[in-house]
């Protein structure tokens, strides 16, 4: 998760517009039928069908030296390879005409023998232009098809007075009992000394279905009483109710971590938590290249402190990286990270695109970079640019075997913060991916042709 861009004004207009390198207008499927119930019974993780045999796209040469960014238009989402998901609107979304969302997350699971698609992300509270200094929780949408209709999860039977689709929120603290904690004390809303007023926000949620149980990985953001990643465990279906894992009753996962200067160093832990599962096992994937195995009961991590690190190939000048996510495809592990493409001028006056965190470089695009390994923990290959402008996302396989990446188009800085483009930003988008085959072993935005 990157900076929030509080105070952002997003107006109503066409969601996608432009030519190569700029999104073209995307047709939105009509949302005419409701999604079926998401409550699990007999289930199994989605097994990706084998990709078709034959000719695969080639890996094209990466910019050299290692650490230069790749801004080629073929790696941008366009009207030919992407669309904005028609998420069911909440009352707060009516004026804008769509859901304002960041860190878009989508996945597909097999539940009761049928595909169930889930979607979530970082949203803003009603009346606020962004998800800070507080927001009001986690919303979930479900569908039976990647194209929709996408309906808000049916939560009204659990909480009749709460917003439909809201599966977790700091406001649910009043439901805590002596036996069950739905909201830990450090996750509740709080008031500061007047600088921000009401505070407490949740970032970058992910929904996972592991061994017949629904989980949500999420992060309390910079304005929270404690900042860091936590796990929620459903006591029912995808709609919840979700309780806090025992390992997060007192604090987020892991050790204290470096954070923004204005955040108390004694309350900042590692952010952007993700989950990777394989067979009966599951792992926490964290910011700053950390990971940890979950305990068998999924209530905590095996190594609460001094977490191990992935074996990676850093850039010569390693920038701030976030949005870590791991997916396994065709026996390879793909480690995703969000990285800014920064621009400056070369000695000859031509534009230079790189990941270097140097003064004088301007943020241009919030990209997804990917490294590949034979093992979950690594060692991982050099990172390559899998998509331009699609950073802090996830990859998934739909029930037909097609590969997708989510995107939201970051309005906090760079290309989509420009007033001419900001209305195209903070969307729930999907872009098709391609696999370069068993020799190339890359997943990247599907190129034209």
Is residue 411 one of the residues assigned to a domain?
yes
Is residue 360 one of the residues assigned to a domain?
yes
- pLDDT score at 52: 56
- What does the pLDDT look like over 154-186, one tens digit per residue? 999 999 999 999 999 999 999 999 999 999 999
Whole-angstrom distance, CA of residue 154 vs CA of residue 400 = 26
Is residue 367 one of the residues assigned to a domain?
yes
Is residue 2 one of the residues assigned to a domain?
no
Which 8-state DSSP code applies to residue 68?
A: B
In degrees and rounded to multiples of 5, residue 189 shows phi and psi of -60, 150
Is residue 38 one of the residues assigned to a domain?
no
Q: What is the DSSP string of 316-349?
A: TT----EEEEEEEETTEEEEEEEEEEEEEE-TTS
Is residue 6 one of the residues assigned to a domain?
no
Whole-angstrom distance, CA of residue 387 vs CA of residue 73 = 10
Contact 288, 270 (CB under 8 A): yes
- pLDDT score at 53: 58
Domain count, the chain: 1
Per-residue confidence in pLDDT tens, the chain, 449 aa = 433 233 332 232 233 333 333 333 332 222 222 222 333 222 334 444 455 556 899 999 999 999 999 999 999 999 999 999 999 999 999 999 999 999 999 999 999 999 999 999 999 999 999 999 999 999 999 999 999 999 999 999 999 999 999 999 999 999 999 999 999 999 999 999 889 999 999 999 999 999 999 999 999 999 999 999 999 999 999 999 999 999 999 999 999 999 999 999 999 999 999 999 999 999 999 999 999 999 999 999 999 999 999 999 999 999 999 999 999 999 999 999 999 999 998 888 899 999 999 888 999 999 999 999 999 999 999 999 999 999 999 999 999 999 999 999 999 999 999 999 998 999 999 999 999 999 999 999 999 97
- pLDDT score at 347: 86
For residue 63, the domain's CATH number is 2.115.10.20
- pLDDT score at 91: 95
Is residue 22 one of the residues assigned to a domain?
no
Contact 433, 444 (CB under 8 A): yes
Is residue 28 one of the residues assigned to a domain?
no
What is Dmax (Cα atoms) for the chain? 68
H/E run at residue 118: strand 114-122
- pLDDT score at 404: 98
Q: Which domain holds residue 407?
A: 43-445
Q: Report the sign of the C-alpha dihedral through residues 412, 414, 420, 425, in that order.
A: negative
Q: Name the nearest CA neighbour of 426 among 406, 409, 407.
A: 409
């Amino acid at each position: 998760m990157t900076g929030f861009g509080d105070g952002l004004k997003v107006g109503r207009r066409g969601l996608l517009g432009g030519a190569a390198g700029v999104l073209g207008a995307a047709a939105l499927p009509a949302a005419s039928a409701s999604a079926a119930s998401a409550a699990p019974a007999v289930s199994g993780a989605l097994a990706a069908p084998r990709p078709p045999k034959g000719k695969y796209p080639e890996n094209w040469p990466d910019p050299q030296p290692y650490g230069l960014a790749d801004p080629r238009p073929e790696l941008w989402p366009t009207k030919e390879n992407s669309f904005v998901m028609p998420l069911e609107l909440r009352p707060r979304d009516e004026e804008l005409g769509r859901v304002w969302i960041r860190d878009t997350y989508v996945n597909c699971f097999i539940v009761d023998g049928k595909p169930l698609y889930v979607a979530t992300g970082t949203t803003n509270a009603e009346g606020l232009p962004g998800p800070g200094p507080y927001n009001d929780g986690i919303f979930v949408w479900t569908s039976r098809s990647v194209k929709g209709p996408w309906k808000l999860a049916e939560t009204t039977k659990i909480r009749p007075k709460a917003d439909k689709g809201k599966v977790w929120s700091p406001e649910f603290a009043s439901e805590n009992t002596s036996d069950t904690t739905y909201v830990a004390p450090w996750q509740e809303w709080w008031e500061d000394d007047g600088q921000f007023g009401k505070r407490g926000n949740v970032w970058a949620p992910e929904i996972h279905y592991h061994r017949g149980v629904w989980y949500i990985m999420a992060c309390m953001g910079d304005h929270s009483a404690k900042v860091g990643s936590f796990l929620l465990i459903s006591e029912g279906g995808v709609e919840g109710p979700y309780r806090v894992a025992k390992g997060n009753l007192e604090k987020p996962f892991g050790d204290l971590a470096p954070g923004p200067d204005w955040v108390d160093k004694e309350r900042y832990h590692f952010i952007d938590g993700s989950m990777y599962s394989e067979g009966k096992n599951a792992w926490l994937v964290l910011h700053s290249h950390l990971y940890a195995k979950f305990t068998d009961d999924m209530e905590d991590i095996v190594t609460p402190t001094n977490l191990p690190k992935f074996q990676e190939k850093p850039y010569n000048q390693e920038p701030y990286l976030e949005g870590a996510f791991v997916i396994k495809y065709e026996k390879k592990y793909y480690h995703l990270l969000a990285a800014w493409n920064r621009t400056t001028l070369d000695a000859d006056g031509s534009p230079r695109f790189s990941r270097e965190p140097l003064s004088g470089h301007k943020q241009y695009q919030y990209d997804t970079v990917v490294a590949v390994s034979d093992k979950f923990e690594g060692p991982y290959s050099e990172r390559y640019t899998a998509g331009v402008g699609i950073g802090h996302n996830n990859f998934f396989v739909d029930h037909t075997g097609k590969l997708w990446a989510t995107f939201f188009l970051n309005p906090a800085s760079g290309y989509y913060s420009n007033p001419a483009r900001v209305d195209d930003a903070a969307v729930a988008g999907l872009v098709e991916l391609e696999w370069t085959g068993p020799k190339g072993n890359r997943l990247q935005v599907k190129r034209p042709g």
